[in-house]
Structure formats: C-alpha cells, structure tokens
Amino acid sequence: MREALEEAKIAASLGEAPIGAVIVQDGRIVGRGHNKTETDKDPTCHAEMNAIRQAAKKLGGWRLPRCSMYVTLEPCSMCAGAIVLARIERLYIGTLDPKSGACLSLRSIVTDERLNHRVEVTAGVLQEECSGLLKDFFKQLRKKKTTTPEEQ
C-alpha cells in the first residue's frame, strides 16, 4: 500500500485526484498507476485501469493470475468490473468511498456470486494515510476555488 500511496502523491503533483494503485504478482510489482483523467482527458484513466494496463502488458495477457491489487481508494464500478475481468485474486483497499465505491460501499461487484470470478477484499489498509491524502487534496482544491486570483 505504501507504493500505491507514492503513486497517489504523483497524481496529486499533477493536479489529479490523489489515487494510486499497484498490482503485485509473486511478491513483485508488475503494474502501477495513478489517476490521469485530467492529464490525458480520458475518463478511463483511473489509477486501477492504468495499473491493470501496465500489468497486462508486462505479463503478456489480459488475465492477471496470482495478482493482488493495492489501491488507496475503493474502486468505482468501472474499475471493479475491470478487476473482475482481469481475474485479480485479492484487492486491498486503503479507504472506502461512500459516494461511488463499488467493492463494499454502494455495491460489491468484485464479490458478486453471479459473476464468473470473485475477488477477496480487505479494506482499511493504511486507512489514515490514504484518507488523509484525499482530504488534504480536496481541502486545498476548495480553498483555491474560494480565493480570488489576487489572493493566490
């Protein structure tokens, strides 16, 4: 999760929502990603999607056997679906997302028994650090929106 937090900090430095993800197979990182939706002007460039793309390229296939994902914020429905499709085995979440989380909060796509693959989920990994990074980022963003250009 510490590596995912480092990815989240990269996103924040780019002005992106500070969310990071890493994918680990057999003890080594095979994919990493951070949010790039604003940078790339692409709504699919979430941290999880970027990490999955990198891992699939590195491993040479769309299935990611024996892989675990560590992500700082609970994945949305798009990312949860991609996690299932990639056959990721375990998902470690830093902090939950009550507004759009699709792994535990609003719904649970990754454990839905109607799907052909289910993911083992653990939440609350380094929760304070993950939550704090997001809270600080959005606090600063709100502060910038309420100040005039002269005050900045």
Catalytic machinery residues: 48
Tokens 């095979």 found at: 30
117: how many CB neighbours lie within 10 A of its CB?
14
2: how many CB neighbours lie within 10 A of its CB?
11
Supply 106's token pair: 């609003």
Cα angle vertex 122, ends 58, 102, to 5°? 80
Euclidean distance between CA atoms 13 and 30, whole angstroms: 23
Closest by alpha carbon to 81, among 46, 117, 100, 109? 109
